A = this chain, B = another copy of it.
Amino acid sequence: MPRAGLSPDAVVRLALEVVDAGGPSGFAGLTLAKVAARAGVAAPSLYKHVGSLADLRREVTVIAVRELTAAGTSATVGRAGADALHALADAWRRYAHAHPGRYVATQIGADPDDPADAVLRAAGEESVRTVVAVLRGFGLPDERVVDAVRAVRAGVHGFVTLELGAGFRMREDVDQSFKVLIDMLVAGVAALATPDPAQATTGSHR
C-alpha cells in the first residue's frame, strides 16, 4: 500500500538506467519487468504512467537522439570546415562509447506514417540539421548537401556500429582507423564542393 511516487518521467528515467546497465544490448534488453523491478513496483503498475513498452522505447529513443544531437552541436560550436566535421564525428563516437545502449536506441527509425512517431521524426530532423550546418562550411552546392550528409552519417554510424558490435579485431588501432575514415569524408566533402573535377582534395573551404 505504500505509494512508490512514480510519474511518467520517473519511469523513463528508470528505463534509461536499465538501458545504460545493459551495455550495447541494453536497449534490446529493455523490458517492463526490469523497469518495474527497479521501481519496486509490480509490472502492470507501470501502465498507469506509460502506454506500452513500445511507447517507453520510443521515449528513450527520442531522449537518446536529442542527447546525440546536443553532443554534436556543443562540440562544433565555434568550429568550421574540416575542424568542425572532425569534432562532430568524434562527439558522436564518444557518445556511443559513453552510452552504448542509448546509441543503439538512436538507430531506431521513425515510421514516416505513424503519428506517434512524429516527435521522433522531429528529433531526427533536428539531428540532421546539425550535420547540414557543419557541412555548410564547406560551401557545397545545394543539391550535393544531401549526398554529403548521408555520406557522413553513414560513415560515422557504420563505423561506430561495427565497433560496438565487436566487428573489429585489433582494438588498439581503432582510433587511428576512425581518424582515417573521417579524413576520407572530409576530403570527399571538400571535393564535392569544387565543381572542377580535375583536382580533388584541395582543402579550400569557401
Interface SS majority for chain A = helix
Q: Check if A180 is an interface residue, CB within 8 A of chain B.
A: yes
Q: Taking the complex as formed, is A82 at the interface, i.e. its CB lies under 8 A from any CB of chain B? A: yes
**What's the Cα separation between A150 and B158 when bound, in Å?**
9
* Known contacts A180-B147, A183-B188; A107/B165 CB under 8 A: yes
Scan residues 177-206 of chain A and give those whose CB is less than 8 A from a CB of chain B.
Answer: 177, 180-181, 183-189, 191-192, 198-203, 206
Known: A161-B107, A162-B157, A166-B112. A150 touches B202 (CB 8 A): no
**Chain A interface bracket (under 10, 10 to 19, 20 to 34, 35 or more):** 35 or more
Interface positions of A from 96 to 117, Cβ below 8 Å from B: 107-112
- For A107, A150, A157, A170, the residue with the greatest tally of chain B CB atoms inside 10 Å of its CB is A150
Instruction: Identify 29 residue pairs between A and B in the complex whose beta-carbon atoms are under 8 Å apart, listed by A's number.
Output: A107-B165, A144-B180, A146-B170, A146-B173, A148-B180, A150-B162, A150-B177, A150-B180, A151-B177, A151-B180, A151-B181, A154-B154, A154-B156, A154-B161, A154-B162, A155-B181, A156-B158, A158-B161, A181-B188, A183-B188, A184-B187, A184-B191, A187-B188, A187-B200, A187-B201, A188-B188, A199-B201, A200-B201, A201-B203
